[in-house]
């Protein structure tokens, strides 16, 4: 996959269920450009979700990698139910749960140092850094997952409730709380 092709893809990220459905169908036929488009349109959702569950950038990157390997291999078995993003994120969620299970047998995973990590990532504006830190440090786990599924994956509240298996009322109130916390931090334009 050439760099030129990737930038073209970048310009027209289409996250609509129809577009994603057709990318998956073409991926199943071995079309690697469609696979690249699928990746471009959905990878930040997968990564954000993995990060919100695993709270460690290395583990989240591994989950991202394995998720698309799985997507590639199970594309042929995908049956459209109009929910391609939920299908991909379900694969990601299962990989994350597996990682969490493996972790339970290991020693404590060190807390990610967000400030250092964000300092090392090129191309981030001050706003981006503030947003990311607020999201990772100020929100509780469930609040963070709900906000990210809404903002990055574009899920409706009802879809989030389905996906996380929690009542819609909980999703609505936690989303409201998360958004309020975020706005308070971002509008003060400072962290703590």
Partner 1 sequence: MNDNQLDRRVERAFGKITPDVFDSVLSDCRRQKGRIIMAESRRSRGGFARSLAGIAAALVLVLGAAGGIMSYGAAHSPVAVVSLDVNPSIELKVNRNEKVLEVTARNEDAQTVLGDMDLKGSSLDVAVNAIIGSMLREGYLSDMANSILVSVSGESQEAAAAIQQRLSRKVSAMLEGGSFAGSVLSQVVPEDDALKALAEKHGISVGKARLIKEITALKPEYSFEALVPLSINDLNLIGGSLPDISMEGGSASDKNYIGQDRALTKALEHAGIPSNVIQGVKAELDLENGIMVYEIEFSSGKYEYEYEINASSGEIIQSGREMVEEIEALAEQHAEEWKAWADAHAEEWETWAREYAGDWEAWARDHGDEVEKWAEKYADDWERWAEAWGAWADSYFDF
Q: Which residues bind partner 1 (CB under 8 A)?
A: 1, 6, 32, 35-36, 39-40, 43-44, 47-48, 51, 61, 64-65, 68-70, 72-74, 76-77, 87, 90-91, 94, 97-98, 118, 121, 123-124, 127-129, 131-132, 135, 147-148, 150-152, 156-158, 161, 167-170, 173, 179-180, 182-183, 186-187
Structural contact between residues 48 and 93, judged by C-beta atoms closer than 8 angstroms: no
Minimum gap (Å) between residue 22 Cβ and partner 1: 19
Closest CA to 111 of 148, 57, 62, 60: 57
Considering the complex, state which of residue 25 and residue 157 has its C-beta at the smaller distance from partner 1: 157
* 23 Cβ contact partners less than 8 Å away, ≥ 6 residues apart: 34, 35, 37, 38, 41, 84
What element of type H or E holds 158?
Answer: helix 157-164
Minimum gap (Å) between residue 147 Cβ and partner 1: 7
Per-residue buried b or exposed e for 100-110, using 16+ beta carbons within 10 Å of the residue's own CB: eeeeeeeeeee
Considering the complex, state which of residue 22 and residue 150 has its C-beta at the smaller distance from partner 1: 150
Considering the complex, state which of residue 109 and residue 132 has its C-beta at the smaller distance from partner 1: 132
Structural contact between residues 57 and 112, judged by C-beta atoms closer than 8 angstroms: yes
Considering the complex, state which of residue 22 and residue 68 has its C-beta at the smaller distance from partner 1: 68
Minimum gap (Å) between residue 61 Cβ and partner 1: 5
Considering the complex, state which of residue 109 and residue 124 has its C-beta at the smaller distance from partner 1: 124
Task: Report the C-alpha gap between 105 and 102 in whole angstroms.
Answer: 6
Structural contact between residues 5 and 36, judged by C-beta atoms closer than 8 angstroms: yes
Minimum gap (Å) between residue 6 Cβ and partner 1: 7
Minimum gap (Å) between residue 5 Cβ and partner 1: 11
Q: How many CB atoms lie within 10 A of CB 124?
A: 14
């Amino acid at each position: 996959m050439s760099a030129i092709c990737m930038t073209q893809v970048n310009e027209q990220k289409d996250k609509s269920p129809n577009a994603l459905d057709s990318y998956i169908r073409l991926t199943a036929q071995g079309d690697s450009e469609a696979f690249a488009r699928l990746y471009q349109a959905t990878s930040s959702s997968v990564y954000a979700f993995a990060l919100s569950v695993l709270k460690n950038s290395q583990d989240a990157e591994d989950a991202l990698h394995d998720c698309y390997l799985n997507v590639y291999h199970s594309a042929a078995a995908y049956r459209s139910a109009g929910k391609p993003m939920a299908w991909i994120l379900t694969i990601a969620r299962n990989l994350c749960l597996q990682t969490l299970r493996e972790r339970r047998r290991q020693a404590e995973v060190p807390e990610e140092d967000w400030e250092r990590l964000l300092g090392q990532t090129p191309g981030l504006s001050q706003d981006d850094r503030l947003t990311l830190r607020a999201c990772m440090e100020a929100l509780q786990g469930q609040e963070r997952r709900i906000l990210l599924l809404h903002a990055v994956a574009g899920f409706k509240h009802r879809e989030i409730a389905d996906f996380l298996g929690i009542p819609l009322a909980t999703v609505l109130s936690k989303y409201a709380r998360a958004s309020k916390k975020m706005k308070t931090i971002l509008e003060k334009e400072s962290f703590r």
